[in-house]
Structure 1
Amino acid sequence: MTDDLDTPVLDNHLHLDPRHGRGVDAVKDFVRLGGTHLLVVNKPSWHLGVEPDEPTDFRPVFEETLDAVAAANEVLPGRAWPVLGVHPGLISRLVDDRGFSPEDARDLMQGGIEVASEFVADGDALALKSGRPHYDVSDAVWAASNAVTRRAFELGAALDCAVQLHTEASEDLTDLAAAAEEVGLDPTRVVKHYAEGRLAGLTPSVMSEKDRLERAAESGEPFLMETDYVDDPEKPGMVLGPKTVPRRVRWLLEAGYDDAVRRAHVETPRAVYEIDTESTLNRDT
């Protein structure tokens, strides 16, 4: 039985892995607690056994994500959309483990994002995913990573789509906002996943921990909510489980943050992704 909330409930960033993980069963948990909409991000390529040599090697990773989204759409009262791209941590696997130069790794990762952009152009995916490492790297790897991110911004501008980013922990990413603006992408359509409760420069996708959500709710600024659920049987509930966003929405409503809930689940998704979480919601399905 669905535990309905009187609002759309969107988890802005999680992973589904029907091959290794819980797949649609995790989606059913989300729905039972009142969840309605998902943005499903492809898992890092190496988690699916792909060690790319050419940009086309990423294609099966993206296609598997589309299949997971199709299965989710069978059980959601709203709908799911794919977000496709190349995890920034790949650069370290390429450079440190496989002997790529930072420049060659940059070129391969940019090519992978270009393949992802084909799915967006065809209407099969909603947004792109890129970013830079959240850990210390050499200057050459940092420069290469920023170049990959800039390419994602260029493609986002050309396709008029949002870009999700994995980055270092920070409450000030105005440097990336400036890079987006330079290539014609509105920085409000660049989303930092795994964000704190406040963020300068980009739109935060806030990890659904109470302290972070309280700061986001009280800021009055646009934000999204996420779990970064990884759907790995060896790491159940990591990072947060699929029930978390609907539970936190209920907690926010009970605390009187009705406006913040509407901001996170209706207004910000519309502004960032041009999706309508209200018109795509049918509680009878």
Structure 2
Amino acid sequence: MIDDRPVLDDHLHLDPDNNRGIDAVRDFARVGGTHLLVVNKPSWHLGVEAETGADFREVFERTIDIVEAASSELEGRAWPVLGVHPGLITRLVDERDFSPDEARDLMQAGIDVAAEYVEAGDALALKSGRPHYEVDDDVWAASNAVMRRAFDHGADLECAVQLHAEASEDMTEVANWAEAAGMEPHRVVKHYASGRLEGPTPSVMSDKERLETAAERGEPFLMETDYIDDPDRPGAVLGPKTVPRRVRWLLENGYDEAVEIAHVETPKAVYGIDTEATLE
């Protein structure tokens, strides 16, 4: 903890096999981190080349297992966020000869399976989105259809949906799609966000400039590293110690209210979790 405060990293990955895994969690905890939302790694990074929705279960089960191990290292706890990485559609279409519609159907089936874990209480939220790079119109349409399936489940289960998507400061249209499905739009979370975003709740990458922008706005936001725990890319994105260190920096610069928003108020509003009550 930092000054008896909860400290949540809203989006990071842990590899159950090949890299730092629980050692990364210990680093996070050692500098004051208390809570984690652990997103399953892309299925193919765990050696799963899915043919059916059921094939994603191995990815989800292994993620749940490492999240349980992570919780034992924290003063708070960790929760799994499960879903299908939107980049899978490119792998399916370009490398495995799926049509965009076939890829859409497989990815929607994977989202359906992830939703089963949320319904059972074994996962907190869903992950979906669309490519953050240029794709053909039919791939874009298929990706949006996958994302909207996640919103359907978000509405039915009253859970949040984290999105991996293109860089933008205005995703009002996407939030409107979620609302049309029956979701509360603030429960749509844009991962890897800048400090300013219209529509979904921003999960802000924890560099100082983005965080200062978010803190000055006074709007709901979350903090993340997108730590990828990839042995082939050890310096990619941000390390697991970053969020606690940025919390200290925010407090030193008078942004106490922003810390409360990011680590207590917004997690409660978006995910229904109480980061204070779950501290030891």
Partner of 1:260: 258
What RMSD in Å do the two structures reach over aligned CA positions? 0.8
Q: How far 1:232 sits from its partner (Å)? A: 1.2
Q: Does 1:249 align with 2:251?
A: no
Which residue identity lines up with residue 11 of structure 1 in the other structure? D
Give the C-alpha shift of residue 238 in structure 1. 2.3
Match of 2:78 in 1: 80
TM-score (norm 1): 0.97
Q: Kindly report which structure 2 residues correspond to 1:10-25, keeping only aligned pairs within 5 A, or say none.
A: 10-25=8-23
Q: CA deviation at 1:234?
A: 2.2
Aligned to 2:88: 90
Aligned-pair distance for 1:21?
1.1
- Cα pair 1:11 1:37 within 8 Å, conserved: yes
Distance, in Å, in 2 between the alignment partners of 1:90 and 1:254 is: 41
In structure 2, the residue corresponding to 1:232 is in which secondary structure? coil
SS of aligned partner of 2:97:
coil
By how many angstroms is 1:200 displaced? 0.2
Q: How far is 1:5 from its partner? A: 3.6
Match of 2:117 in 1: 119
Q: CA-to-partner distance for each residue in 1:64-112, whole Å, 9 max, x for gaps? A: 1001101101110000000000000000000111110100100000000
SS at match of 2:192: strand
Q: 1:215 aligns with which of 213, 238, 256?
A: 213
Conserved in 1, the CA contact under 8 Å of 2:189 and 2:201?
yes
Q: C-alpha separation between the residues in 2 aligned to 1:238 and 1:264?
A: 24
Stretches of 4+ aligned residues off by more than 4 angstroms: none
1:224-261: CA deviations, max 9, x gaps? 00000001122224210000000000000000000000
| TM-score, normalization by structure 2 | 0.99
1:47 to partner: Cα distance: 0.4
Q: Which residue of 2 aligns with 1:235?
A: 233
Deviations 1:20-78 (A, max 9, x none): 11111100000000000000000000100111111111000000100110110111000
8 Å CA contact 1:110–1:151 kept in 2: the answer is: yes
Counterpart for residue 50 of structure 1: 48
Instruction: Provide the rounded CA distance (Å) in 2 between the counterparts of 1:155 and 1:217.
Output: 31
**Residue type at the aligned position of 1:154:** D
Aligned partner letter, 2:111: I
